[in-house]
């Protein structure tokens, strides 16, 4: 009997102690009562961090990257070589079709002569579905487009759409297990950032060159209608067009497009289309088959003190209207050559090229307000943006 009472007392003591310990653990770790069901791991793209600034190297030490091989290895599978072919038909001079000429020489000179013209370029795989970004001038007029992948495979490409105003084109190939680029943020580029250019210069095969960002936002170059180029001293040569400009993480930040050269080779001044611009154009081409752009029907330039003195107009910061297209939105709104527009939608004009880009991004049908001066007298008007002519949806 005594043993039974002792065991009962001992059991109660143990249970009390366990209860007290459990309550104590809950007090210091309340998460134990929360639901710990199945956890779904979602991998998100890391938020962009502030650029790291390297500390000055100590004497005899080097703190820069030893190699960019990791970035290149990551990017190069998504860079393709593009081979195009088109048949050029040479017209026959009317004299060669003359019956008298043919009487003596026959008709062998009167037949149209055909010539096969080939071209080389580069492109970047932008999706695993087979979409490729390249320059329009690489594939323009081509009758046949062959794409050579980095792994040795080849495929025939079809043109999804082109955009003359940015010199971009979207192609599509059908193949399995295609690589694609990781898209970087070209809006965060700084002068001095290291970049690498990958392409097929002179048809020698995939080649990598390195350099830095020399400038951003380059325009007024006369290369395309809408210019916002990245300038780099990474060597870009004929055949590099349409290739990749990447950062040191292997991310795509630009499409190599043009070089400034008197010899035809690289002279340290190359231009690439920022991927932020190219991606928007590509999306519209894939979704619509063409790029939708707003248009006012004007040609304009920055107003400067020198221009004001030359034209006899009062100087005020803004854009000087040079040409107004007949029956265009600007003409319907009453704009005239010589008008100085100082604000659009109450936003002061600092740069004419930026204004034209802003107008192009407007959805056709959008009403915009323009404020300016005509012969020194303020005016205000409204214009309705329309789709840019000759860039409408193709006839089906």
Enzyme catalytic residues: 137, 167, 241
- Structure-token pair, residue 277: 């611009």
Indicate the helix (H) or strand (E) that contains 133: strand 131-135
Q: Which phi and psi (to 5°) does residue 32 adopt?
A: -65, -25
- Count Cα atoms within 13 angstroms, Cβ side, for 111: 7
3-class secondary-structure state, position 254? strand
CA-to-CA distance for 360 and 387, rounded, in angstroms? 9
Residues 6+ apart with CB under 8 A from 4: none
The total of other beta-carbon atoms located within 10 Å of residue 374's CB is 16
Indicate the helix (H) or strand (E) that contains 170: strand 168-172
CA-to-CA distance for 276 and 187, rounded, in angstroms? 7
Percent helix / strand / coil, the chain, rounded to 5: 25, 30, 45
- State how far the alpha carbon of 293 is from the alpha carbons of 211, 226, 358, 391, in Å: 34, 11, 10, 8
3-class secondary-structure state, position 196? strand
């Amino acid at each position: 009997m005594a043993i039974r009472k002792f065991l009962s007392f001992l059991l109660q003591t143990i249970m009390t102690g366990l209860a007290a310990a459990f309550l104590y653990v809950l007090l210091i770790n309340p998460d134990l009562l929360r639901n710990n069901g199945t956890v779904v791991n979602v991998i998100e793209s890391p938020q962009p961090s502030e650029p790291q600034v390297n500390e000055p190297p100590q004497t005899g030490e080097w703190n820069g990257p030893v190699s960019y091989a990791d970035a290149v290895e990551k990017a190069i599978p998504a860079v393709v070589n593009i081979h195009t072919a088109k048949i050029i038909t040479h017209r026959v001079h009317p004299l060669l079709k003359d019956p008298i000429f043919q009487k003596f020489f026959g008709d062998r000179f009167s037949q149209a002569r055909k010539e096969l013209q080939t071209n080389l370029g580069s492109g970047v795989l932008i999706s695993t579905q087979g979409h490729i970004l390249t320059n329009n001038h690489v594939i323009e007029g081509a009758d046949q487009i062959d794409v050579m992948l980095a792994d040795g495979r080849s495929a025939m490409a079809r043109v999804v759409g082109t955009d003359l105003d940015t010199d971009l084109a979207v192609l599509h190939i059908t193949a399995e297990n295609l690589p694609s680029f990781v898209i970087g943020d070209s809006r965060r580029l700084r002068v001095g950032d290291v970049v690498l250019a990958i392409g097929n210069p002179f048809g020698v095969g995939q080649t990598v060159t390195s350099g830095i960002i020399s400038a951003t936002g380059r325009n007024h170059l006369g290369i395309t209608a809408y210019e916002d180029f990245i300038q780099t001293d990474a060597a870009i040569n004929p055949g590099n067009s349409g290739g990749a400009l990447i950062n040191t993480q292997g991310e795509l930040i630009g499409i190599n497009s043009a070089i400034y050269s008197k010899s035809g080779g690289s002279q340290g001044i190359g231009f690439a289309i920022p991927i932020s611009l190219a991606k928007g154009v590509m999306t519209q081409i894939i979704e619509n088959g063409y790029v939708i752009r707003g248009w006012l029907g004007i040609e304009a330039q920055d107003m400067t003190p020198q221009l004001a003195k030359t034209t006899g107009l009062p100087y005020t910061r803004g854009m000087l209207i040079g040409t107004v297209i007949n029956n265009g939105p600007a003409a319907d709104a009453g704009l005239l050559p010589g008008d100085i527009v100082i604000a659009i939608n109450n936003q002061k004009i600092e740069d004419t090229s930026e204004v034209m880009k802003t107008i192009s991004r407007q959805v056709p049908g959008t009403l915009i307000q323009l404020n300016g001066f005509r012969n020194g007298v303020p005016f205000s008007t409204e214009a309705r943006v329309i789709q840019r002519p000759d860039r409408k949806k193709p006839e089906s």
